[in-house]
Chain A
């Protein structure tokens, strides 16, 4: 091979490196923009909980699950267990910042809410937490998206997003799908 051809190849390689670097930089800048301006970033919450006693103590006991309004904060607590979510339907108001808190007593599960950016893993021993604002009203599907066993494909729940004026918590601050 002649020397000038080798030089050409080197030049092409350098150009291509520059181009790929530019592409990666552009994507990174877009992600940084989303994080800074729109507050969109991967849900992160390092909070431990004992999966063996999840049903006995603390906030994930059965009667404590579901949507609850506490002052200005709207929080829904959901347990993902083989092979169902409890509760299987949660009510959320549209256009308000809401917090979803998940825990599991058994194996790794995962959730996503269709048509939204809500997407997280649910790992035994940790509380997964997502803050979001639902803009579309209606029943949104929330399937388990992490294979959790033989009943995985039948494991799904509903997120019922209602207009803000129809979101009326009971005297104890709770909102359930049954009451509506």
Chain B
């Protein structure tokens, strides 16, 4: 299959309009976004680790010696 020609994105970009957000506010938001992402990833990784340790301690170890 032949590749489609690369679309000309510049034609699709809407013209820049000045919105109400000023640079300072944007900077503040950009600082806060990572901490939210970090909290979410900490929670998911923490739950995964907890599940792993629960399986390890209450299923794997009691099943006893194998080797």
Closest CB in chain B relative to A94 CB, distance in Å: 11
Also in contact, A39 and B65, with CB within 8 A (given A30-B56, A117-B60): yes
Contact, CB under 8 Å: A12 / B66? no
Closest CB in chain A relative to B27 CB, distance in Å: 8
* Secondary structure of the B contact surface, majority rule: helix
Query: Of the 9-residue stretches A60-68, A77-85, A102-110, A125-133, which lies at the interface with chain B?
Result: A125-133
Q: Which of B34, B41, B42, B67 sits near A43, CB closer than 8 Å?
A: B67
* Secondary structure of the A contact surface, majority rule: mixed
B38 proximal to A (CB < 8 A): yes
Q: For B30, list chain A residues within 8 Å (CB).
A: 5
Alpha-carbon distance between A43 and B18 when the two chains are bound, in angstroms: 67
Q: For B53, list chain A residues within 8 Å (CB).
A: 30
Contact, CB under 8 Å: A40 / B38? no
Contact, CB under 8 Å: B34 / A117? no
Alpha-carbon distance between A77 and B52 when the two chains are bound, in angstroms: 34
Categorize the interface residue count of chain B: 10 to 19
Q: Which of A26, A43, A135 sits near B64, CB closer than 8 Å?
A: A135
Closest CB in chain B relative to A78 CB, distance in Å: 16
Q: For B34, list chain A residues within 8 Å (CB).
A: 8-9, 12
Alpha-carbon distance between A102 and B39 when the two chains are bound, in angstroms: 49
- Count the A residues whose beta carbon is within 8 Å of the partner chain — how many? 31
Alpha-carbon distance between A20 and B46 when the two chains are bound, in angstroms: 11
Closest CB in chain B relative to A87 CB, distance in Å: 21
Closest CB in chain A relative to B35 CB, distance in Å: 9
Q: For A23, list chain B residues within 8 Å (CB).
A: 45, 49
Binding site for B on A (CB under 8 A): 2, 5, 8-9, 12, 16, 19-20, 23, 26-27, 30, 34, 38-44, 97, 115-119, 130-133, 135
Binding site for A on B (CB under 8 A): 27, 30-31, 34, 38, 41-42, 45, 49, 52-53, 56, 60-61, 63-67
A and B contact pairs by CB, cutoff 8 A, 7 listed = A12-B34, A12-B38, A34-B56, A39-B65, A40-B66, A44-B67, A117-B65
